Amino acid sequence: MDRSVVFPAPFGPSSPTMAPCATVSDTPRSAAVRVGLSQPDLKVFVTSRTSIASTDLDGNMRPMTASGEWRCAAASLPPGRTATFRLECGGRSVSGFVVNFDGRYHAYVNRCPHVGTPLDLWPNEFFTEDGRALICSTHGAIYEPATGLCTAGPCVGDRLTSLPLAVEGATLVVTCP
């Protein structure tokens, strides 16, 4: 197990500070708790460097051209940020998120393979404190942002479900699988 990765509290902080929807905050939000592991003073964090929702930065909703498609200006999603969205795929609603990790975009279904809960217990909170991994805030599973592979926690070896993502000019387009 890589001890340099910062793990979350089992159920996150009791009252996280949330940035308003459609803003970008350079100050990470975090909450530390002590856990009873082999290192009793180990602090763990639940945080992200994100708070972009399915709205433009001016607060206007982004229009969707089709119910099975979501579009976002690539410039509104700088490295280390995520954006959440919802698609209608074959009569069912699919919640997802896009991550910009090291300048490359990846889209995933917002569902932990361990028990099917959303990864972000608080809206749009996916990154570990150090920004190197995605984290399930419910059970602490750690995922590689570029592949969705679970590298630590209760679902090691499983993967997040990826969604088709294309870059059309300066626009990100996520579609149903």
CA 50 from centroid of its chain's CA atoms: 8
Q: What pLDDT shows up at residue 13? A: 38
Distance CA(75)–CA(172), nearest Å, equals 9
On whether residue 43 sits in a domain, the answer given is yes
On whether residue 83 sits in a domain, the answer given is yes
pLDDT tens-digit series, residues 11-34: 333 333 322 223 233 333 333 232
Structure tokens at 95: 């919640």
Q: What's the CATH number where 38 sits?
A: 2.102.10.10
Q: Tell me what the mean pLDDT of segment 49-72 comes to.
A: 54
On whether residue 128 sits in a domain, the answer given is yes
Structure tokens at 30: 């975090």
**Range scoring the smallest mean pLDDT among 41-45, 74-78, 169-173:** 41-45
Q: How many domains does one find in the chain?
A: 1
Q: Which residue has the higher pLDDT, 35 or 141?
A: 141
Q: Check if the beta carbon of residue 28 is closer than 8 Å to that of residue 47.
A: yes
On whether residue 10 sits in a domain, the answer given is no
pLDDT tens-digit series, residues 75-110: 999 999 999 999 999 999 999 999 999 999 999 999
Structure tokens at 44: 């763990």
Q: Check if the beta carbon of residue 51 is closer than 8 Å to that of residue 21.
A: yes
Q: Which residue has the higher pLDDT, 29 or 71?
A: 71
Q: What pLDDT shows up at residue 86? A: 96
Residue labelled with tokens 């709205």: 55
pLDDT tens-digit series, residues 119-158: 998 899 999 999 999 999 998 999 999 999 999 999 999 9
The amino acid sitting at 72 is: C
On whether residue 26 sits in a domain, the answer given is no
On whether residue 22 sits in a domain, the answer given is no
On whether residue 19 sits in a domain, the answer given is no
Q: What is the DSSP letter of 122?
A: S
On whether residue 21 sits in a domain, the answer given is no
Range of the domain at 43: 32-175
